[in-house]
Amino acid sequence: MNISLKPEYEQFIRSQIEAGYYASADKVIDEAFQLLLERERRLTELRQKVAIATEQIANGQVTDGEVVFAKLQAKINRIADSEL
């Protein structure tokens, strides 16, 4: 497969090679695709978590934030008191 790159991308690739970060243009492109694939994996994971959370909210499986923070503060206070 042959591809055409914008001049600024070609310059970026050359600068990465000249700086010694990569041995070849292929290595730069490989790294770019690895990062893109990782980004897609993370987005898929995030979308799945949002879907689960949305379903939990729809089913009423939620806890008020103020209640959670009050419980955390009480736990912190108990730990602090026990260390005195």
Burial class (CB in 10 A: 0-12, 13-18, 19+), 16: middle
Q: How far apart are CA 28 and CA 34, in angstroms?
A: 10
Cα angle: 4, vertex 8, 12; to 5 degrees: 100
Low-confidence stretches of the chain (pLDDT beneath 70): none
For the chain, which residues make up each domain, given as ranges? Answer: 7-82
Q: Write out the two tokens for 84.
A: 């005195």
What is the DSSP code (8-state) at residue 2?
Answer: -
User: CB atoms < 10 A from the CB of 13, how many?
Assistant: 19
Give the model's pLDDT for residue 83: 84
